[in-house]
Amino acid sequence: MDLLAALAAQPGGGALLEVAHEGVYLVGGAVRDLLLEGIPRELDVVVEGDAQALAATLGTPVLHARFGTATVDLDGVRIDFASARREQYQEPGALPTVQPAGLAEDLQRRDFTVNAIAVALGGARRGELQAVDDALEDLRAGRLRVLHDDSFLDDPTRLLRLCRYAVRLGFEIEPHTAELARAALRAGALRTISGARIGAELRLALVEPNASGALTALGRLGVLGALNPRLRHDAPLLSDALKLLPSTDGRPDLLLLVGLVLTLVARTGDEAYAKASALLDWLEFPSSERDRTLVSVIAVPRLTRELPEVRSASALRELVASTPPEGVALAGALGDRDREGEVGERQESSRAALRWLQEVRHVRLSISGEELLAAGVPEGPEIGKRLEAALLLRLDGGLPAERDAELRAALGAKV
Ligand code: CTP
């Protein structure tokens, strides 16, 4: 295939080809994806020379002093520039020290053979491929292989990357590589890197197109177990829950995270809840995501028990209103599973979850606190209580959808 033509057809690709000179290469995932006739998510460029200067010819780069790298956003695509380098790991898991080098050495420092392919973008060898041993055969055969036996010990984040690529690309893990990965896990490789680095990789896994598949792969390889022996991904359950999650404001990544974290909490109560919270902090989830996840984690056991019993819309609101959509969806799926086999009760839970997510939570009063203030209700919590009482009446059909009726109900409510 004509790789340069394929690159030129990508956003940012044409401009990059125009400025590329001798010693400028496209590398890594972008070359892999173009050779597989896919669409690269971003472009990684290696320069034998000054990467930051090249980046500056395309726009205003964001510079990263420590590694001499630069990033430019062009036509909505991110282009990362790095000077060709060799890396040395002073100790397992530590960030490497880097030194300038040629392309061949730069390719040798990479994670998997299929990610260690480059194409020259400028100069006399423009269009030529350069790759480490086995790379092109592995790409054709759909195989993930590390470049050397210490790869996972040097950089244990590769254990998570391996699972992501295996699922996304549909590639098999070459047997010796699988053995090295298991040996690294047994040797405690994940304990040599920070929670932040593991968390960053886990967050990438959670937003993969087949994120549930990526978590299954992480479980099979033993990565989840190495993080916590009880951590498990229940793919069939999460598949059911994902079907209930609204596409508008539901977060599939957080739903999968709730499912994972719940495997720590379900059995041992409060102490495990503290552990779950500590795990999310260690993985450096942003506080808003951590809190949203934990609210669901706390709510799910009760919702799972009670959702199938709920009859009225007001009772549904009282049960689930403070739970994010992920928690409601998971409780719906779990409740169905708990009742599998019970005649007549199947799917009561998921039906109740859907009733809330698709219908009941969208019902609003046409009056607001302003009208109650104007009618003489003092400012403070009483306003909210009166509005809530009117809304519960509305939900159960005891109130027409009219302003006056709503106002009368709110003013007459016993609070
Ligand atoms: N790389 C590596 N080891 C890592 C991270 C990255 O060797 N721990 C190398 C790989 O050659 C990879 C390249 O750096 O292809 C770019 O990294 P990244 O953007 O994370 O990988 P992509 O393969 O481009 O991933 P994606 O397709 O997910 O964007």
For the stretch 291-350, pLDDT in tens is 999 999 999 999 999 999 999 999 999 999 999 999 999 999 999 998 776 655 568 999
Is ligand 1 within 6 A of the CB of residue 28?
Answer: yes
State the Cα–Cα distance between residues 46 and 106, nearest whole angstrom. 8
Predicted local distance difference test score (pLDDT) of residue 415: 83
Distance, CA 115 to ligand 1 centroid (Å)? 7
Comparing CA positions, the residue from 187, 197, 264, 252 lying closest to residue 224 is 264
* Closest-lying ligand 1 atom to the alpha carbon of residue 158: 8
State the Cα–Cα distance between residues 382 and 13, nearest whole angstrom. 60
Predicted local distance difference test score (pLDDT) of residue 392: 96
Predicted local distance difference test score (pLDDT) of residue 363: 95
Distance, CA 29 to ligand 1 centroid (Å)? 6
Q: What is the pLDDT of residues 234-255, one digit of tens each?
A: 999 999 999 999 999 999 999 9
Predicted local distance difference test score (pLDDT) of residue 343: 58
Residues of the chain predicted below pLDDT 50: none
Is ligand 1 within 6 A of the CB of residue 29?
Answer: yes
Predicted local distance difference test score (pLDDT) of residue 269: 62
Predicted local distance difference test score (pLDDT) of residue 207: 98
* Closest-lying ligand 1 atom to the alpha carbon of residue 80: 19
Predicted local distance difference test score (pLDDT) of residue 271: 75
Predicted local distance difference test score (pLDDT) of residue 163: 98
Is ligand 1 within 6 A of the CB of residue 115?
Answer: yes
Predicted local distance difference test score (pLDDT) of residue 65: 85
Q: Please tell me the residue having the least CA distance from ligand 1 atom 23.
A: 29
Predicted local distance difference test score (pLDDT) of residue 289: 98
